[in-house]
Amino acid sequence: MRKIWVNRVECNVMMSIFSTTAPIRGRFAPSPTGHLHPGSLVAALGSWLWAKHRGGQWWLRIEDVDRLRCVPGADHAQIALLAAFGLAPDGEVVWQSQRDALYQAALDRLIQQGDAFECHCSRRDLAANGGIHRQCRPHARRPDPAWRLRVPEGCEIVFTDAVHGAFRQRLDRDVGDFVLRRSDGFWAYQLAVVVDDAAQEISEVVRGADLLDSTPRQIFLQQRLGLATPAYAHLPLVLDENGRKLGKSLAALPLRADAPLPALRWAWQVLGQIPEAIADARDARHFLALACPAFAPQRVPKSTAALHNRIFTNSP
C-alpha cells in the first residue's frame, strides 16, 4: 500500500489486492428485511466461493442495525435457507443489533480525534447543497441531532476492485460529511460495516456492485479509525427486464430451500463461470464440491445485462 497526499489529506492507494498473507476470511452480510432472493444468492455464493476456493473461511453477519426495516424471523429464515444451500458459516453468526458498544467506542474515538461532529441540519438545510453536507447551516437546533464524519477538502479515495478495477471517488465533492449515527438513533450502515469487518478480521469483502460507491467511505473510515483495509470485489447485480435491481422488483422470487440446485446453477452462470464444471451436480453439497475448485474469479463479469431474461425457474 502506498501513501499519497491529496491537498494535504492523506489517502491510501491500494496497490495490490488479494495478495495478503493474512488468513483468508470472507463474509456474507444480509439485512433481514425479507426473504433471500436470487440476487442475494449471487452475493452469498460469490463470497463463499471467493474465500473457499483459496482455502479460506466464510462468515455470516446479520445486518439489523436499521430496526425499522427488519422483518421479525427473517434472520433465522435466511440462516436456514443458506444452510439448505450448503452455505454454512465457519464462525459464530453475529447480529449488529447486539453490538452497540463496539459502534459507540468507534464513534467516541472519532469524536475525540475531532473527526466526528454533531449535526442539526435537516434534509431541507442540505437541499441547498444538493443533499451534500459540507458545513452545518441548521435553521434550528434539533432534539435528535445526527453524528457525521468530517470529510476534508480534496479527499480522494482510490482503490482497486477485483472485478471493476481502479475506482476513485472525491469524497468531499461526491458524498460530503457522511452520517455515522442517524438522527433516529440508529447506527449508520457505513460505521457498523467498517467496525464489524475489522472486528471479525474480514480479509475480503465480496458483495453486490450496488455497494461499490460506498466503499471509498468505508476505506476513509478505516483510515480514520486506524483499521486495515480488506480487499474488495463487487459482484454483478442481477437486474430485471426493466434494468431494475432484482431485489426491488416483482421478479424477486423467494428462494426455495427444497430446490437449491436450479438457483445455484443460475447463480454460477451470473458469476460468469463455466457451466460444464458443475453439470453433473446431484445436490447442493455436490454442487459446492465441484464449484469450489473450478471457480475462476477473473471470469466474474462487471454486469449481467445479457442475463436479464434468464431468471431460473424453481423446477429442479
Nearest CB to ligand GLU, comparing residues 58 and 287:
58
Q: Whose Cβ is closer to ligand GLU: residue 29's or residue 149's?
A: 29
In angstroms, give the least distance from the CB of 68 to ligand GLU: 15
Question: For residues 316 and 293, what is the distance between their CA atoms, to the nearest angstrom?
Answer: 24
Distance in angstroms (rounded) separating the CA atoms of residues 291 and 38: 18
Residue number, 31 or 203, with CB nearest to ligand GLU = 31
Judged by CB, which is closer to ligand GLU: 148, or 207?
Answer: 207
CB atoms within 10 A of CB 209: 19
Q: Which is nearer to ligand GLU, 36 or 110 (CB)?
A: 36
H/E element holding 266?
helix 260-270
Closest CB 255 distance from ligand GLU, rounded Å: 15
Least distance (Å) from ligand GLU to the CB of residue 251? 17
- Classify 50 as helix, strand or coil: helix
Nearer to ligand GLU among residue 95 and residue 108 (C-beta) = 95
Least distance in angstroms from the C-beta of 207 to ligand GLU: 4
- DSSP structure string for 158-189: EEEETTTEEEEEEHHHHTBSEEEE-TTSPBPH
Closest approach, Cβ 209 to ligand GLU, in A, equals 11
CB of 27 to ligand GLU, least distance (A): 7
* Cell (9 digits) for 236: 454483478
DSSP 25: E
User: CB atoms < 10 A from the CB of 202, how many?
Assistant: 24
Number of residues that make up the chain: 316
Q: How many CA atoms lie within 13 A of 85 on its CB side?
A: 29
Q: Which residues bind ligand GLU (CB under 6 A)?
A: 29-31, 63, 193, 207, 211
